Each structure stands twice: as C-alpha cells, then as structure tokens.
Amino acid sequence: KIVFENDGLIAVNKPPGIGFHVDEQGNAGILQYIRSLQAEERFDYRGSLHPVHRIDKVTSGCLLFAKTRGAASELMTKFRERNVDKYYVAVSAGKPSKKQGTVKGDMARTRRSAWKLLRTQDNPAVTSFIQTAFELTDPPSEDGKPPMLRLFLLKPSTGKTHQIRVAMKCLSSPILGDAIYAGNAAKGVDVRLQRRKSKSYLCCRGRISIPTPQG
C-alpha cells in the first residue's frame, strides 16, 4: 500500500514477512513483489523504482523508493549523513534494565545469523528509547492474571543490521515473537498472541521522517 507519494519518491507500508531480496525458499523480495503487482495493474504507481534503504523481513513499516536515479542518490545521501529520523514501536514481555536512555556499542555477527552488541565503540550502533508498561487482557489468560507487557518507542541514530532487535535483547527485553533473539522468553504470552492469528507476530513497527526530493 502506498502511504505517501510525490514527484521524487513513494513510501509503501511494508508488511511483515516480506524480505528485501528473494529468500532461500524462492519467495519474492519486496521490490519483486511490487513489480509483480505493477504488471498485474494492482499497484497505483506504474513507473520505475529505486530502493534507498531496507527494513528487516520480520518488521513492518514505511519503506521508501525513489522514482529517479537522481532522487535515489539524494535520498541515499540523506541516509548516509543521518539526516533521517526513524522511529520504531516494539512490544516486549521483559522488564528492561533501565526505563529510558541509549543503547550504544559496536555490533558483531555471531552464529545462526544473529548479531551481538560489544563493549567497544569504534563504529557503534546507537539507539535511544523510552518505554511504558501495560496489561494484555485480550485474549484472556487461563489463570485470569493479565501479564504485564512493555511498549517501547525506539529511535536509532544509525542503521545497523538487526540494530533494534539487538538493542532490545541487551535491555533484557527482547521483542515479543522474535525467534532469533527472544528464545523461549514469554512463551505463554506468545501462545496467546498466536490465538489472534496475527500476520505481524514479531511485535515491531517502523515509521520514518525525511526531507523529500521533488524529482
């Protein structure tokens, strides 16, 4: 779905479960998926698309595409120079190690396609956050006691792979439904969420604010 459009770009609401590239099972990446919709005349914009940034496969949110090479170059420069405000909303069942603040550190790849935060800060990932608590009452729990969940608003200043998910794990509050970083945390809550048959099982959403090119 297109959520914003001007002469230079379009912004689409990327659903969870669609990656940037074709995955190992042969499922189309987001660009291939949009082009197939264009071919079937099921997408309102018919012109060329130039990707300028990415969102994790399991995350939903605004994804920008430039309409021209010039606009793509301008947008990528804004991302590179960090002239972009990105915000994410995530849900966790874990109580964080602090109520608000910043998670900062270098990131390194580990086994099983995961990443971890290091104590060094040579080229650090930087994520600011605040959070609040709420109770999950729907669907009802078997024991009648609604579990306490945490709602996070996160603002990454950098754009590292899995940055938000790693930051949440480091706070002892992995994102609910995150198969890589949450493990068996909040298993009972996860089962209750599955009853809703939600297509967005990883509880994370993204939005973006950027000065837009006009062509």
Regions of the chain with pLDDT less than 50: 195-201
Q: What is the pTM of this model?
A: 0.81
Residue ranges of domains in the chain: 2-209
Q: Which two tokens stand for residue 122?
A: 């040579």
What is the pLDDT at residue 69? 96
Which among 7, 23, 44, 56 is annotated as catalytic?
Answer: 56
- Catalytic site includes residue 190: no
What is the pLDDT at residue 210? 79
Number of neighbours of residue 45 by Cβ within 10 angstroms: 15
The answer to whether 95 and 178 are in contact (CB under 8 A) is no
The answer to whether 164 and 132 are in contact (CB under 8 A) is no
What is the pLDDT at residue 32? 94
Q: What is the CATH number of domain 2-209?
A: 3.30.2350.10
For the chain, give the number of residues: 215
Q: Beta 115-117 vs 50-51: how paired, if at all?
A: unpaired
Amino acid at 87: Y
What is the pLDDT at residue 11? 94
State CA 165 to chain mean position distance: 8
Calpha distance 186→5 (Å, rounded): 39
Amino acid at 211: P
> Tokens 């493990």 sit at which residue?
183
What is the pLDDT at residue 147? 74
Helix ranges (DSSP H) in 13-90: 30-39, 69-80
The b/e string for 47-67 (b: 16+ C-beta within 10 A; e otherwise) is: eebbbbbbbbbbbbbbbbbbb
